[in-house]
């Protein structure tokens, strides 16, 4: 997992984070230790949790660009009706929609022009410090 953390590419080209391996290791060890899975087909570490009919995808850690739809297909179950991404997914799939989150416990400090041109954005879950 340490090698994945050190060599990962950002989960999103739209709004991703890089060079955060120590913070990611913190999430591996303490926060998501019961939600870590390995996708051998995509050579990726998946952080997700199924709660009733909702799939919560916290992060996808890979050393190369992955096929998001293929990875999500490996995570979903027959009960899954809705998938929540805790990052901005790179996908042109019409079934993936974004919505503005109006209530959250997060605090965000934004530098001017940082989010220029991005309609909806969310820092990846594992980049929250």
For residue 79, the model assigns a pLDDT of: 92
Specify the pLDDT at position 113.
52
pLDDT of the residue at 39: 92
The answer to whether the pTM exceeds 0.75 is no
Q: For residue 13, what pLDDT is reported?
A: 63
Predicted pLDDT of residue 109:
47
- pLDDT < 50 positions in the chain: 108-109
Would you say how long the chain is, in residues?
Answer: 129
Task: For residue 75, give the nearest of 58, 40, 106, 50 by alpha carbon.
Answer: 50
By the 8 A CB rule, do 121 and 89 touch?
no
What is residue 26's predicted lDDT score, i.e. its pLDDT? Answer: 74
Contact 66, 44 (CB under 8 A): yes
What is the predicted pLDDT for the residue at 91? 65
């Amino acid at each position: 997992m340490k090698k994945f953390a050190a060599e990962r590419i950002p989960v999103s080209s739209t709004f991703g984070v890089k060079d955060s391996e120590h913070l990611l290791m913190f999430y591996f060890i303490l926060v998501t230790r019961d939600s870590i899975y390995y996708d051998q087909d995509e050579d990726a570490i998946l952080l997700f949790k199924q709660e009733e009919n909702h799939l919560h995808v916290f992060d996808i850690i890979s050393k190369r660009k992955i096929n998001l739809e293929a990875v999500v297909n490996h995570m979903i179950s027959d009960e899954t009706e809705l998938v929540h991404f805790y990052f901005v997914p790179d996908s042109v799939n019409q079934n993936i929609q974004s919505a503005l989150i109006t209530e959250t416990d997060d605090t965000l400090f934004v530098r001017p022009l940082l989010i220029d041109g991005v309609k909806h954005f969310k820092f990846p879950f594992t980049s929250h410090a």
